[in-house]
């Protein structure tokens, strides 16, 4: 039996994400085409009634499971029951659900919206347009790859994904963003206004330029109220001279070094 897991993590439980209308068109089409296909749908929301109506209309009670809201502790045990994870979100900044699904070894099929194309590499996700036709094609591609054995083993997918999002990795990426921004030249006010007017059009550009001037004057006022000189500089928390680095008296430090040399 082939199982497709559909759900999205939001807050403390699993809820039906956007794109339920798309899912209601996908289910009957693919269930008719693939007799061994089953859907596991996690989540709760006002559009659940749409999926219940689809299940009733096409008599798919034994092939479409609506689990309702799930606690975080139960998500993993449900995810590993599936082979393919379907995300039908219409808007998404960063879809944590597809990372968790891939970490559980599922092949991900998702709409190409927001920041989703940047979340996983191309070999771990099939991106589709937010339409029933495109998503059905993406799912059929995943089903074909799964049946032919072309997809990586779940353990291999997990080992790949777990290297992407570690705290050290996230910190290094964040540091690169700050370094890049800090290295950029600060444009004078007149050049900023010229850029707004030239890029945003004759009407909208002048409106944005006016807002930029108001924001600049407000910033000048705030710097007058609270000068830069009275603002504390962020401390260096890590590193050899960091505030969180353990300090030892000379005698204690020597004793520690001697103890380490003896153990060697």
φ, ψ of residue 241 in degrees (nearest 5): -110, 20
In this structure, what token pair is assigned to residue 227? 């000068």
| pLDDT tens, position by position, 10-69 | 322 333 545 888 999 999 999 999 999 999 988 888 888 999 999 999 999 999 999 888
The H or E element spanning position 23 is helix 20-33
pLDDT at 39: 92
Q: What is the DSSP string of 207-264?
A: HHHHHHHHHHHHHHHHHHHS-GGGSPPPP--SSTT-TTS----HHHHHHHHHHHHHH-
Residue 101, exposed/middle/buried by CB under 10 A (0-12, 13-18, 19+)? buried
pLDDT at 43: 81
pLDDT at 214: 95
Q: What residues have CB less than 8 Å from 110, skipping those under 6 apart?
A: 86, 87, 88, 89, 95, 98, 116, 125, 126, 127, 128
Q: What is the DSSP string of 91-117?
A: S-S--HHHHHHHHTTPEEEEE--TTGG
Give residue for tokens 């050049």: 191
φ, ψ of residue 146 in degrees (nearest 5): -65, -45
φ, ψ of residue 116 in degrees (nearest 5): -60, -40
Cα 129 from Cα 138, distance rounded (Å): 9
Domain extent listing, the chain: 2-165, 186-263
Cα 175 from Cα 168, distance rounded (Å): 10
Give the number of other Cβ atoms within 10 Å of residue 60's Cβ.
Answer: 18
pLDDT at 47: 85
Domain at 2-165: CATH architecture: 3-Layer(aba) Sandwich (3.40)
Residue ranges of the chain with pLDDT lower than 50?
A: 7-15, 17, 259-264
Give the number of other Cβ atoms within 10 Å of residue 8's Cβ.
Answer: 23
What is the 3-state composition of the chain as percent helix, strand, coil, each rounded to the nearest 5? 55, 15, 35
Give residue for tokens 């707004």: 196
pLDDT at 192: 87
């Amino acid at each position: 039996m082939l199982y497709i897991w559909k759900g999205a993590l939001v807050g403390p439980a699993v809820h039906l994400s956007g794109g339920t209308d798309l899912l209601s068109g996908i289910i009957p089409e693919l269930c008719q085409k693939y007799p061994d296909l089953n859907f596991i749908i996690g989540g709760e929301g006002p559009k659940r009634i749409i999926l219940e109506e689809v299940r009733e209309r096409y008599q798919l009670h034994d092939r479409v499971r609506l689990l309702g809201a799930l606690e975080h502790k139960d998500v993993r045990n449900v995810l590993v029951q599936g082979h393919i994870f379907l995300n039908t979100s219409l808007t998404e900044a960063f879809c944590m659900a597809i990372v968790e699904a891939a970490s559980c070894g599922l092949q991900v099929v998702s709409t190409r919206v927001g920041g989703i194309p940047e979340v996983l590499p191309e070999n771990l996700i099939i991106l589709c347009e937010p339409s029933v036709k495109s998503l059905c094609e993406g799912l059929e591609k995943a089903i074909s790859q799964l049946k032919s054995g072309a997809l990586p083993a779940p353990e291999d997918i997990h080992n790949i994904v777990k290297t992407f999002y570690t705290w050290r990795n996230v910190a290094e990426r964040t540091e690169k963003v700050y370094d890049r921004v800090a290295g950029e030249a600060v444009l004078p006010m007149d050049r900023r206004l010229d850029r707004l007017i030239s890029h945003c059009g004759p009407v909208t550009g002048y409106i944005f330029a006016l807002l930029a001037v108001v924001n600049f004057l407000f910033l000048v006022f705030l710097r007058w109220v609270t000068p830069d000189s009275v603002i504390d500089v962020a401390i260096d928390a890590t590193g050899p001279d960091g505030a969180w680095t353990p300090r030892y008296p000379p005698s204690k430090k020597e004793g520690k070094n001697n103890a380490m040399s003896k153990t060697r």
